[in-house]
């Protein structure tokens, strides 16, 4: 029954005693979500993780597909984190307001009972004087300050801003040094097309891992990213010198892990071990990030001594990055905003959050001809904490203006195109053409708050 050991035995048939060998001589492949987690960590944890990765850097190998997803996804991780932390204060206030409504309802119920069964006007008056918005705010002020203080500290602890991606990214050079020249070359376009067709026509309909859970999501190339990574691993492992492959990923979707009987029980799909073994002769091990870093510490660098808090952060960050990659909501950017339709009512909600009041601005917030404006308003108000982001809204990576020495695109205008006294960054910014048209068409009542919102976004990303 040797040929079925991937199905019968744990971990594809490898013994737990063999685990050390994977850390000593395997080719180690880090999935995109592991690398993008470096942007999710606070600086202290990031430094510890990078120190651990350096212990195994000679064994690291980067598939071209992972490298491409990594460099393209860096900004998305930073903006998503900034949006969540930036909107924390609004979310806190919203929950406290909901709590007040519950208290108010309870008070109203008691007043109803007092009137119905005792006709006690005095007691009702006492309740009105005691249970109200002012007393509620006073009683909860300490808690509100405590909650917002923690949110503010979390935001300040994260050192990376979206502007770092273009100007001063401290993570990218560290990652480049880890891999050196151990990076796969770009896959020929004809081969990519062949693999795409194989995935869509054969592997996905038959639920052959990995990647079949992404079928139907976005463009065809977006659907087959996991399989393209796997195909590169198969190519690399065909080298006779490769005996073992250690794949590290936070992705535990059903196209990587088989669900077993029992609550939350799962294991990596046996087909993955079997396919690698049959096609290359190499052995495979799949580990999640926390498990992997424990192995690095145990087998290679006991002196590192990663803390429990660090392991918690590793698990949290990996889960957050992996979750965003499975949400199926592509980021809205300058190149696709014109074709993306906002969820019903979201642009109007952002219009109100931005402090806009005129009919003209509201019409723009509802017009299908103003998609760039709508998406920017949605993204900026969430990113800057003017409103709490809705669960169903996608990530928005869109700016009305940027501070840069280089013109972002030929059609962008220098900051001097906006009026002196209304735009504070005239000498060192570029302004999107749709925003210039917007401020020219709207009156002063709309123009000033919109330019202030754009200026705040520029400052937050500086």
The DSSP 8-state label assigned to residue 202 in this structure reads I
Q: How confident is the model at residue 231 (pLDDT cuts 50, 70, 90)?
A: very high
What is the number of other CB atoms lying within 10 angstroms of the CB of residue 305?
9
CA separation for the pair 238, 225 (Å, rounded): 20
Backbone dihedral region of 26: left (phi > 0), alpha (psi from -120 to 50 degrees) or beta? Answer: beta
Strand ranges of the sheet holding 429-431, from the earlier edge strand across to the other edge: 401-403, 429-431, 413-414
Q: Where are the beta strands (DSSP E) in 347-438?
A: 401-403, 413-414, 429-431
The encoded tokens of residue 370 equal 């103003």
**Predicted local distance difference test score (pLDDT) of residue 199:** 94
Using one digit for the tens of pLDDT, what is the confidence trace for 144-174?
889 888 888 877 777 676 666 666 788 999 9
* 3-class secondary structure, 265: coil
Provide the 10 A C-beta neighbour count for residue 33: 28
Name the token pair of 329: 């909501």
Output the DSSP codes for 101-121. HHHHHHHHHHHHHHHHHT--H
Q: Kindly tell me if the per-residue pLDDT of 340 is higher than 80.
A: yes
Q: Structure tokens of 299?
A: 């087998």
**Whether the predicted pLDDT of 286 surpasses 70:** yes
For the ranges 255-264, 270-279, 299-308, 397-406, the maximum mean pLDDT occurs at: 270-279
Q: Which residues contact 459 (CB under 8 A, 6 or more apart)?
A: none
- Is the pLDDT reported for residue 3 higher than 70? no
pLDDT of residue 427: 85
pLDDT band, very low/low/confident/very high, at 141 (cuts 50, 70, 90): confident
- What do you get for the CA distance between the two ends of the chain, in Å? 62
Contact in structure between 401 and 435 (CB atoms under 8 Å): yes
Beta strand spans in 361-400 (E): none
Q: Is 348 or 15 the better-scoring residue by pLDDT?
A: 348
C-alpha closest to that of 456 among 384, 359, 353, 378: 384
User: What pTM was estimated for this model as a whole?
Assistant: 0.73
Whether the predicted pLDDT of 296 surpasses 60: yes
* Dist CA 53 CA 130 (whole Å): 59
Please check whether residue 318 is in contact with residue 45, taking contact to mean a CB–CB distance below 8 angstroms: no
């Amino acid at each position: 029954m040797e040929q079925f050991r991937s199905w019968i035995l744990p971990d594809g048939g490898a013994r737990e005693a063999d685990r050390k060998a994977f850390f000593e001589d395997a080719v180690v492949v880090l999935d995109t979500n592991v690398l993008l987690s470096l942007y999710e960590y606070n600086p202290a944890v990031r430094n510890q993780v990078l120190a651990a990765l350096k212990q195994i850097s000679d064994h690291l190998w980067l598939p071209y597909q992972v490298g491409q997803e990594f460099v393209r996804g860096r900004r998305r991780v930073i903006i998503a984190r900034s949006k969540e932390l930036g909107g924390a204060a609004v979310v806190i206030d919203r929950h406290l307001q909901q709590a007040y409504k519950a208290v108010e309802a309870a008070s109203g119920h008691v007043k109803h009972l007092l009137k119905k069964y005792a006709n006690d006007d005095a007691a009702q008056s006492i309740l009105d004087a005691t249970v109200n918005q002012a007393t509620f705010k006073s009683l909860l002020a300490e808690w509100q300050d405590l909650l917002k203080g923690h949110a503010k500290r979390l935001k300040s602890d994260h050192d990376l801003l979206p502007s770092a991606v273009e100007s001063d990214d401290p993570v990218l050079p560290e990652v480049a040094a880890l891999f050196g020249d151990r990076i796969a070359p770009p896959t020929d376009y004809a081969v990519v097309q062949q693999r795409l067709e194989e995935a869509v026509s054969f592997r996905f309909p038959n639920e052959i891992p990995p990647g079949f859970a992404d079928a139907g999501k976005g463009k065809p190339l977006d659907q087959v990213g996991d399989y393209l990574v796997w195909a590169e691993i198969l190519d690399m492992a065909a080298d006779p010198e490769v005996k073992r492959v250690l794949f590290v990923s936070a992705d535990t979707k059903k196209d990587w892990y088989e669900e077993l009987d029992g609550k939350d029980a799962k294991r990596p799909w046996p087909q993955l071990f079997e396919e690698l073994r049959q096609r290359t002769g190499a052995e495979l091990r799949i580990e999640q990030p926390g498990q992997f870093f424990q192995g690095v510490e145990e087998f290679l660098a006991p002196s590192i001594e990663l803390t429990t808090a660090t392991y918690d952060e590793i698990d949290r960050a990996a889960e957050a990055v992996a979750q965003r990659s499975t949400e199926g909501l592509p980021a809205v950017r300058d190149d696709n905003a014109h074709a993306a339709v906002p969820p019903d009512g979201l642009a109007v909600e952002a219009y109100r959050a931005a402090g806009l009041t005129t009919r003209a601005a509201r019409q723009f917030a509802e017009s299908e001809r103003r998609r760039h404006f709508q998406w920017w308003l949605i993204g900026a108000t969430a990113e800057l904490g003017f409103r709490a982001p809705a669960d169903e809204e996608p990530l928005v990576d869109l700016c009305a203006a940027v501070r840069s020495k280089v013109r972002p695109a030929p059609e962008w205008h220098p900051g001097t195109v906006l009026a002196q006294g209304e735009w504070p960054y005239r000498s060192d910014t570029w302004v999107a053409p749709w925003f210039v048209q917007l401020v020219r068409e709207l009156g002063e009542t709309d123009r000033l708050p919109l330019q202030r919102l754009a200026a705040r976004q520029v400052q937050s990303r500086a």
